Structure 1
Amino acid sequence: MGAASAIVLVLITIIFPPLGVWMIAGCGADLLINICLTLLGFFPGHLHAFYLEYIYYDRREQAKTGIPNYSRAPGVYSERVQSGGYGYGTVVQPTH
């Protein structure tokens, strides 16, 4: 995703947080949590959605520079968000 798509994602998330979460995490636990938080109040849904987007883009940048982060971000259940969209599905973790 380029800068334009990131801006569109942020604008969509401002309007309706679960849609932004769905766009980066897909249909799963993170989406369900965000829907519940949005129903509890608009602000908690936004916090959760922007946290997921931050983790997604941070991990994406780390993977681009060749320094992937293999530690798990707390409160994120989507493997796609955890990996920044890279290696989704069949990633073999390096052994050190």
Structure 2
Amino acid sequence: TSLSILPQKEMDKLSTVDRYPSDSHVFTSHGCDLPIENELVADAFAALTEQEQSILILHCVLGMSDGKIGEIMELSRYAVQRRRRKALDELRNKLAALMPKGG
């Protein structure tokens, strides 16, 4: 079969992309790394406080509950929940402001 007649979906399976550590920004909390390749997302994440970054990493990457995060960070479950929601709202708002209208 000639490669020229393969559909794009099949061609995509044949390609590869080199990934280098320098291609992403790595955020770390409690021994867990969160690599973010998208520069806009990484900049928005970097603008969060260190505590907010830690809460999001523990929740989103490790899947920890607010109660467990609270135990680790010496905060109440409610305080973790409130800070997590605030951090996610900040990220959402910063990224939405960067998006083209309708996109």
> TM-score band (shorter)?
0.3 to 0.5
TM-score (norm 2): 0.30
Bigger relative contact order (CA 8 A; separation at least 6): 1
* Structure in which a larger fraction of residues adopt strand: 2
